[in-house]
Structure 1
């Protein structure tokens, strides 16, 4: 788990699979911290990874870049393991966490899981937070999620980009699916990252990379395509949500799959806004066949299997 060349020595990156976001662990002289905690079904592995790396030290601070289920699904398990753990989240959803409003937090709408956790404070854009004895700037990163933040360490020029920038794109722009124009906010966040000029980028998913200009070119090209054809983005979002569930469950009966589609509101919302002429079942069936066609899923007659 040695950090790639150029990253601050005080941090470790746990690159996770696509069901869980990457975790970034900091070991400072008098404080330990982690950014993002993965998905609920991977929570035992998250706890084990962090516990092993800390080698007997407690975990003091937990930060979430945003509250999508793949970034905060391990929060509750870590709070149980480390009762004094302080949890900081971006502004905007603290009340929803305190009352555990799964509608406002998107878990019910996406059909995803997250155990209830405690929030202790906020990560305010324009402020700083010390992690691994280093000063990290907090920046708002709207687009993929309206409350998301990114973190930048100016001395090493290391960026924790969450889902605002990956090596080959960025996360689904969820507000767009609900009729809240947000592609311009994605563009603004990409411009912000460009201005920060990071040398090292720790994305929410995928490997650490060191060529931010190339990633920004790919992201802007992808964004332009979605802006020209919002239905293309909506179809991509459906595929992401369907594949995510397959990654979670691994195997599901066809009848249970149809029932899950029916009780997951995002699918009906996307269908009504972008694909009025097709039913949710028909759309999901088409996308499932696409996943089968590229070897990402299989159907054996009564069950669907992740591949």
Structure 2
């Protein structure tokens, strides 16, 4: 199976998004919409891969059965030409193993496993968790280090020990500590993917290979151009693209990223739907500011009529 950008050193490609999970107006799963959105991201936004059922996919409020449905729909839609990574991380090792095995049966190419959250295990527990999950299936694992959500970072020594496992091959890095990331890159063969869009270029400069983004739902081609420019040694072009895209990279996170991403996709006529509680729809002011951020980054989303309709409803379109 040939997938764009999937080569040694970049096992999942260069450009990926943590894809939103589209819902119907009543909040039920939109399986057809998920397939359509995945196709758009791969064919129009130049993605090499997609992460399904991650945080931006509202994994906290989707059932295991819904996770399986949307994963299978995306694999069927784009699995022949893009890597499909299943988010399976929870704060329960046994439950994570169940999700990992289900994802393997559904046809996923890899697993995204986040640091166990809320219960804040010690480093020994973190090490055991990831190793146990990696042992439970034959799929490669991308470790997701995001202490702002998990409550505890994966320390450098722990990450280096995780790299010894044959199926732990990549990191989605949302730690925001370039120095420690550089040490891991120096000491291991882990493929680093930026988990913070605004830090993608800085991470590339110390050896990262790509991004698992969120604004990339809308700004995929320019983000890919930035990565390719840096890879080709054209640092100036990469810097120019980074600065051009910076308003969007920051703008999508003025509130919860999934809320604004769904608003943007809806304004572009793409499947998204509402968010599930306890999240709420982005309000008119938030969407208006997002449109300004996107325009500054070179992309117009939504029309005046759509925004007027948004203001009348008080919800994302």
Q: What TM-score do the two structures reach when normalised by structure 1?
A: 0.39
Q: What TM-score do the two structures reach when normalised by structure 2?
A: 0.38
Of structures 1 and 2, the one with the larger relative CO (CA 8 A, separation 6+) is 2
